Every structure is written in structure tokens, then in C-alpha cells.
Amino acid sequence: MSSQPSPPTSVDVLIIGAGPVGLFAVFECGMLKLQCHVVDTFDAIGGQCTALYPDKPIYDIPGFPHVGAAELVENLAQQAAPFRPTYHLGQTVRELRTVNDGAIEAELSGGTKIVAKAVIIAAGGGTLGPNRPPLAGIEGYEGRHVIYRVGNLEALRGRRVVVAGGGDSAVDWTLALVDVAARVMLVHRRAKFRAAPASVQALMDAAEQGKLELVTPCQLHGLEGDGVTLNAVSVVDDAGVVRRLAADTLLALFGIATELGPIARWNLQIDHQQIVIDPATSETSRPGIYAVGDVTVYPGKLKLILAGFAEAAIAAHAIYKRMHPGEVLHFEHSTTAGVPPREPTGAERATAAVVC
């Protein structure tokens, strides 16, 4: 007997993008008693703050002379936590369809369907994802044997790891793996590395001591395995000679790519890869779909996090009016209304609603 597909999940607001502005949109919606689900292509919240510069200080957040990007993300997550958002991480929204009563049905890459009364696109520069090397069949290995970031170093203990890349991330993770992995091989197309001089020196010292192997100048050539389990990575040098590296894991660190991706197919008014919105409501050209943050454009638009925060608040209030036409909103400032009691943070929040 064939199983029936799961019915769509219903929610007040679907937020596309879990960067700082998307997280703040959860808070603003929550203050108006609007329940949110959040989708992000990255496997962690925080957007570019997490993926590109977690240690970078930010100086233009009101009330903070400076705050680290990772700290800002953590604070925004705590601020959103009382409103119990559900996160769908490592997934993309393939389609947005308008259905009954003007609701929006979203189809996620994992097969989940969500019907929302409104959608907020907080996609920053667009879809955020790793620069994947153009290797045949790589999709089948992704997740366990081909990875683009290290979430848990201990998960690589005892494994034969090929690291590919030549920047700070590649050099730093290669050094971190020396005492964890059974074997570490760093592949780069040049003999020189674009990393901090002290890190490069440590890398060279470790290589001379036989703690790791530098495979340079070489480029990735192919993957060997059964399509799911990786056995080896092949590389090719400048002379065209192919070499086989026995490996269990490929850690490919070629940076992060941003693009509009599926957003470009959602029949929204686009201007130079940005979504045109009405600044009075943050609504796009499609009713019920709103956009906030760097992905938007309008006359006088400022690409600042604080501008995105304001747009998130404007969108939340516009959505409330859309859901409750003719009803007067007796708005209270947070100093008066307060917020629900905060949920536990850190390790205690590991059981929060996250759907990967």
C-alpha cells in the first residue's frame, strides 16, 4: 500500500532567509502574535555573518559600539526564541504558489510543503551556498563524504581527509585536523597559499614534520566510490598527470556563492538582481509576498543591517493588517507589552524546533 504525501504545514508567516534581518523578522512577527517558519539554504542560522565572517566586528548596530557577527546572530536567535520559530535549514524554496484566499504555498527542496498567509523574503544577497567543485556525481557524496564546512571536528576523527582550497579556511582547518584525522592532504592549484603568514608557516612546518601532505600544484579531478561512499579523490597536476588520493572525506573550501536562484522565477518585479518593494509596506509586486534587507531595492534604499531591521518591522505590521483587515491594531511598545519568557539558550536549545 503506497503511503500518502504529508499534508502541507500551515503557518502565519514563512520567512525565507535566516540571516540577521530574517531572525529579527521572527521577533517582529512574534510581537504581533504571528507564528513563523524559517527556511535557509545554509545549514546554520546567521546567513553571511555565520558563513563568511563570524569573528568580524560590526560597528553600526544601535546601542553596540561594536559587536562580533557571531555574537549578533546569537543575540538575535535568543530574541526570536520566545516565539518558537521552526527552522528548515539546508533547504531551498523551489516554488511559491498563490492558493486559496490569497495564501502562499511554498515547496521546499526536501519535499515539505508549507502554506503561509504571508511570506517574507530576507535572502540578503540571494541564495547562499558553497562554491561546489565541478566533479561528476558529487551530489551523491554530499553531506557525509563531501562537506563544505566543519560543524563537528570530532566527526572527522580517524578519517582520511582531503582538504581543497588555498585560503585561510583551508589552511586553518588543515592544521586543526592534524591531531584528529588519520591522514590530512591539502590540495591547492598553486604552491602559495592566501592565508595569514603565521598560519602558512605553521602549515609548512607541519608538512616538513610529516604531519600532513601538501598536494600542490594540483586541482581536483574526480571522485571514486559507489556514488554514496567515498573511497578516493583524484587530482591532476599542471602536466596533466592524474594521482589517486585514498580518502573518506573531501572538505571543499572554495568560498560562498550568492545568487537569486529560484527567487528569479517567482514572478516578482526585479531590478538589477534585487526585488522591488513598496517601502511603505515592504510588499513586493505579488500580493502577500514581502521582502526585506539587502535583497530589496526602492528609491533611497540603504544597504545597512539597521535598514533591514526597520523593513522587517514594517513588513510584520503590514502582514498583520493583511490578515486582520479593518481591525485596529492597538500597538504597544516592547517596554509595555514585554515578551514571553525566554527559552533556554546554548546547548539547552539543541532540542528547539529545527527541521533539516
Euclidean distance between CA atoms 295 and 339, whole angstroms = 29
Domain with CATH 3.50.50.60 in the chain: 9-129+257-355, 133-254
Q: According to the model, what pLDDT value does residue 2 have? A: 47
In 3D space, the residue among 285, 271, 354 whose CA is nearest the CA of residue 90 turns out to be: 354
> Per residue of the chain (356 residues), what is the pLDDT tens digit?
445 567 889 999 999 999 999 999 999 999 999 999 999 988 899 988 887 677 778 899 999 999 999 999 999 999 999 999 999 998 999 999 999 889 999 999 888 999 999 999 999 876 666 788 999 999 999 988 999 988 788 999 999 999 999 998 899 999 999 999 999 999 999 999 999 999 999 999 999 999 999 999 999 999 999 999 999 999 999 999 999 999 999 999 998 766 677 898 999 999 988 999 999 999 999 999 999 999 999 999 999 999 999 999 999 999 999 999 988 887 767 766 777 765 544 433 433 566 65
Provide the 3-class DSSP secondary structure of residue 349.
Answer: helix
What kind of fold does domain 133-254 have according to CATH? FAD/NAD(P)-binding domain (3.50.50)
Q: Tally DSSP H helices, then E strands, for the chain.
A: 8, 23
In 3-state terms the chain splits into helix, strand, coil percentages (rounded to 5) of 30, 30, 40
Q: According to the model, what pLDDT value does residue 38 have? A: 97
Overall size of the chain counted in residues = 356
Euclidean distance between CA atoms 211 and 226, whole angstroms = 29
- Cα distance from N-terminal residue to C-terminal residue, the chain: 27
> pTM score, two decimals?
0.67
Q: Note whether 61 and 306 are within 8 A (CB).
A: yes
Q: Which residue has the cell 484566499?
A: 101
Euclidean distance between CA atoms 109 and 95, whole angstroms = 9
Give one DSSP letter per residue of 7-26, joined into a string: PPEEEEEEEE--SHHHHHHH
Q: Which CATH number fits domain 9-129+257-355: 3.40.640.10, 3.50.50.60, 1.10.3720.10, 3.40.30.10?
A: 3.50.50.60
Q: Note whether 42 and 261 are within 8 A (CB).
A: no
Q: Note whether 235 and 243 are within 8 A (CB).
A: yes
Euclidean distance between CA atoms 298 and 278, whole angstroms = 7
Q: Where are the alpha helices (DSSP H) in 162-268?
A: 168-177, 197-208
Q: Note whether 243 and 219 are within 8 A (CB).
A: no
Euclidean distance between CA atoms 259 and 126, whole angstroms = 5
DSSP 188: -
Q: According to the model, what pLDDT value does residue 345 have? A: 46
Side chain identity at residue 22, one-letter code: G
What are the phi and psi torsion angles at 110 (to 5°)? -80, 0
Q: According to the model, what pLDDT value does residue 353 have? A: 60
Q: Note whether 79 and 23 are within 8 A (CB).
A: yes
Is there a cis peptide before residue 217, judged by omega within 30 degrees of 0? yes
- Partners of residue 146 on adjacent β-strands: 142, 250
- Strand 274-276 relative to strand 36-40: parallel, antiparallel, unpaired? unpaired
Euclidean distance between CA atoms 309 and 307, whole angstroms = 5
Q: According to the model, what pLDDT value does residue 262 have? A: 86
Euclidean distance between CA atoms 179 and 281, whole angstroms = 53
What are the phi and psi torsion angles at 340 (to 5°)? -60, 160
Q: Note whether 24 and 312 are within 8 A (CB).
A: yes
Q: Which residue has the cell 581543497?
A: 164
In 3D space, the residue among 79, 93, 125, 169 whose CA is nearest the CA of residue 275 turns out to be: 125
- Partners of residue 219 on adjacent β-strands: 236
